[in-house]
Amino acid sequence: MKKTSVRLADGRELIYYDSRDDLVRSEEDPRPLEPVATSSEIRVDRLLGDSVAIASHRQTRTYHPPADACPLCPSLPSAPGESGSRCARRSEIPATDYDVVVFENRFPSLAGDSGRCEVVCFTADHDASFADLTEQQAALVLDAWTDRTAELAELPAVRQVFCFENRGAEIGVTLGHPHGQIYAYPFVTPRTARMLESLAAHRERTAGRNLFDDVVADEVADGRRIVVDAEHWTAFVPYAAHWPYEVHLYPKRRVPDMRALDEPARAEFPRVYLELLRRFDRIFGPDEPPTPYISAWHQAPFRTPDRADFALHLELFTIRRTSGKLKFLAGSESGMNVFINDVPPEDAAQRLREVAST
């Protein structure tokens, strides 16, 4: 992997991650951009203790542009007769092609002392999806996630790094190009805080046992909800799944974050993850549009006593519950955070096994 960091016209950082070491990234951003002005503010809900990011500047962010104006596609070279410094399409990426690119979000939810938000472009192909990547391409994305986790961990204000992908208009995605995001939070997120509380309570209740280890061991012992059992990774539908189709993916050697993955796990991850994504697209049959999903990496927060006991894992889920129908968060879920799942986890796991690649 070759890493090249450059600056966009407004001063934001952009990083190329290339599979070839001989590539030179010298393209300049010709756009007349003003410096990014943000109004991010973290406020705490005194009743729940949750942190909320107030980011009014995001109201003007790019919303469903046409494909020929996609800001995540490579820039197009100038047409014949035009100035060589001009581009037919001036996107966020100055290069005319790329492997993986990460850049600071122009409309960040978190900025400055409130954290950092980055965009990860998985491929230059606008019409592809993560599931269309080769194993080599997926491995490069994992390298980029790992590198960003390592660099963001060094920022004094950052407590937790969250790498994720939202796929599909039903999820709320406003840019169709295959991409994900990285949030560097200045606090421990509420979901992670609850996991840490459960981790501590389980350790006390069981004379030192690790909750994550026991959850995975129980799923393997039961077997009904196992989706993929690879040499270095285990994927299963959790016993109390919140979403219609939800898979949790764990490395078999517990580690707190991506930086600690060993080489065998890193090498096997692309094959396992791509298989899961491709199965998700086959759940509802060949005539259904691509399955909308959220893919979320859970990593241990920094500078916390339970960090070594936390287990890196990925949670992949869709809001589509059956053909043509979505799972909406209604009163119980949105109002009280009590989920009601219409699909038994055992049935979901069985379906995900049925659509395995042949």
Whole-angstrom distance, CA of residue 65 vs CA of residue 36: 20
> Is 179 one of the catalytic residues?
yes
CA dist list (Å): 166 to 159, 177, 296: 22, 11, 9
Contact 284, 323 (CB under 8 A): yes
Please name which of 75, 68, 104 lies closest in space to residue 90, comparing C-alpha atoms.
75
DSSP classification of residue 22: T
**Cα torsion through 173, 3, 9, 145, rounded to 10:** 30
73 annotated ligand-binding residue? yes
Exposed e or buried b per residue across 140-177, where buried means at least 16 C-beta atoms within 10 angstroms of its C-beta:
bbbbbbbbbbebbbeeeebbbbbbbbbbbebeebebbb
CA distance 61 to 131: 27
What number of CA atoms fall less than 13 Å from residue 302's CA on the CB side? 20
- The active-site residue out of 179, 202, 232, 298 is 179
64 is in an annotated binding site: no
Helix axes 135-152, 263-280, angle to 10 degrees: 120
Instruction: Please state, in angstroms and rounded to a whole number, the distance separating the CA atoms of residues 333 and 172.
Output: 18
The single residue listed with the structure tokens 């951003």 is 29
Q: How many CB atoms lie within 10 A of CB 208?
A: 8
Establish whether 57 is an annotated binding residue: no
Rounded CA-CA distance 358/352 in Å is: 13
CA-angle at 300, arms to 12 and 53, nearest 5°: 50
Residue type, 2: K
Question: Is the alpha carbon torsion for 14, 24, 68, 180 positive or negative?
Answer: negative
d(CA 165, CA 177): 11
DSSP state of 134: -
According to the annotation, is 126 in a ligand binding site? Answer: yes
For the annotated catalytic residues, the residue numbers are 179
Which positions make up the binding site for Zn(2+)?
A: 70, 73, 126, 177
